[in-house]
Amino acid sequence: MTVAVAARAPAGIRHWLARYGWTVGVWLLLFLLIGWYATLIPSFGSFTIASIAKNSLPTVFLAIAQAVAVIAGGIDLGAGAMMVLANSVSARFMEGQAAGTTAVIAVGILAGAAILNGLVGWIIVRSRVPDIIVTLATLFVFSGVALMVLPAPGGGTSGGFRWIFTGSTSGIGTNFWPSLVALAVPTVLVALWLRRTSRGLSLYAVGSDPDAAYLSGVKTARAKITAYAVAGAFAALAGLAITAITATGDPRFTNASNGTLNSVAAVVLGGIALTGGVGSVVGAVAAGVILFVLYPILTAMSIDPNTAQVIRGVLIVAVMMAAGLLELRRRRTE
């Protein structure tokens, strides 16, 4: 994508493009898609913006969760299950409660998820079982616990809680600012934390080369556990967002596995290498929104949902193949 330009550009720009090119490209693609979507539907107004902003929240939060784990050299296949667990627990206990109580419950769930997934990180560090195996196990365990808490779809929440994520106490409306704030604030916070604090940078260090990080005095175990704790909190945030949007909890296993699938796809499309240590949360966020926006776009083109799923899968593979070919060419020319 940027290879031809980079060859002739001065070193500074080339470096900048190599580092941020993919992220910028993903954001451009997102705006292109939204622009295209605007021409497809009869009226593009605040209702549409609100709808896109709030409905992409779960995918985006889960993408951030996965991004943090992957940057630190791991992968959290249990992220989707953590989302479902938070969704089920919140819907079960928030039903019929006042706004203040639901907020307290939400904070409790976030803290609990961070501790629980931090424990998962500890198990990974301590047992030295590969991340993918441990989190595969947590995918089972967490979704099982979700089913115990809430055996069938149901539950509820307060209007105030729904407003925080959707901008309306009924979940449907034209006020898009709360959703955008809910989208932007956690993204900016975690991006700054990763790039500007020593604890955040230690995640990149562990992800790119654990031996070198260890020998340079980075507390590798602590970095990994922190990464999983943050990932757990963001996965739970995704679950809370679902509770706010739908006002129900849905403990079914397919939600968990689909959530994990989408989050891994978003992370890779967002330019984060699954080998760890490379990429930024900002790219994953755009990729998360793209993955969501494809559905309304394909619906607007009156393509049925099953074909839409096929097209989405083919697009993911096509992008990854293109990236693979670019990588091969780059390696040959160097």
Partner 1 sequence: MSAELRGVDAGLGTGLGAKPPARRAWKRFLSDRPLVVLGAVLVVLVLATAAIQPRYLSLPGLRNTLLLAAPLGIIAAGQTILMLTRGIDLSVAMTATAAAYVAGNQSPNGAGIAIVLALVVGCVTGAVNGVGVGVFRVNPLIMTLAMAGILLGLFTQWAQTVLQGSTSVAPFIKTIGAGAFLDRRIPWNLLIWGAVAFVVIWGLRRTGLGRMLYGVGDNPVAVRLAGVRSWQVLLAAYTISGLFAALGGILLAGQSGAVDLRLAQNLLLPSVAAAVIGGTSIFGGVGTYSGTILGALILSVLNAMLTFLNAGQAVKQVVYGMIVLALAWLYAAATRAE
Residues that bind partner 1 (CB under 8 A): 73-75, 123-124, 127-134, 136-141, 143-148, 151, 209-211, 214-215, 220, 253-254, 261, 264-265, 268, 274-276, 304, 306-310, 312-314, 316-317, 320-321, 324-325, 327-328
> Cβ of residue 133: shortest distance to partner 1, in angstroms?
5
Of residues 108 and 305, the one with the C-beta less far from partner 1:
305
CB of 220 to partner 1, least distance (A): 7
* Closest approach of partner 1 to the CB of residue 193, in Å: 22
Question: Hey, what are 9's tokens?
Answer: 């550009």
Smallest distance from the beta carbon of 140 to partner 1, in angstroms? 3
CA 84, CA 23: separation in Å to the nearest integer? 29
DSSP state at residue 96: T
Q: How many residues does the chain have?
A: 334
The answer for 76, left when phi > 0, alpha when psi is -120 to 50, beta otherwise, is beta
**CA 138, CA 295: separation in Å to the nearest integer?**
29
Can you tell me the distance from the alpha carbon of 283 to that of 27, in angstroms, rounded to the nearest whole number?
Answer: 7
Chain mean position to CA 158? 25
Q: How far is the CB of 185 from partner 1 (least distance, A)?
A: 29
Looking at beta carbons only, is 181 or 303 nearer to partner 1? 303
Per DSSP, the residues of 264-315 read HHHHHHTT--TTSS---HHHHHHHHHHHHHHHHHHHHTT--HHHHHHHHHHH
Distance in Å, CB of 261 to partner 1, minimum? 5
CA-to-CA separations, 15 to 10, 20, 268, 284, in angstroms, rounded: 9, 9, 21, 21
